[in-house]
Amino acid sequence: MLIDQIVAAVRAGDDPAIRRLLALLARVADVAVLLRLRRRLYADVPG
């Protein structure tokens, strides 16, 4: 899934992949998908 790929790229610090994947996501994402991505990314932030 695209969200999984974005999260993996963020974890790896792969800026080119992040940009490419976010461009793909922008074409198909709705609010629910963006909120899911946000939750996944924040899950990695130490609390």
**13 φψ region: left (φ > 0), alpha (ψ -120 to 50), beta (else):** left
Q: Are 24 and 2 in contact (CB under 8 A)?
A: yes
pTM to 2 decimal places: 0.87
pLDDT confidence tier of residue 46, bands split at 50, 70 and 90: confident
pLDDT in tens, 12-35: 999 999 999 999 999 999 999 999
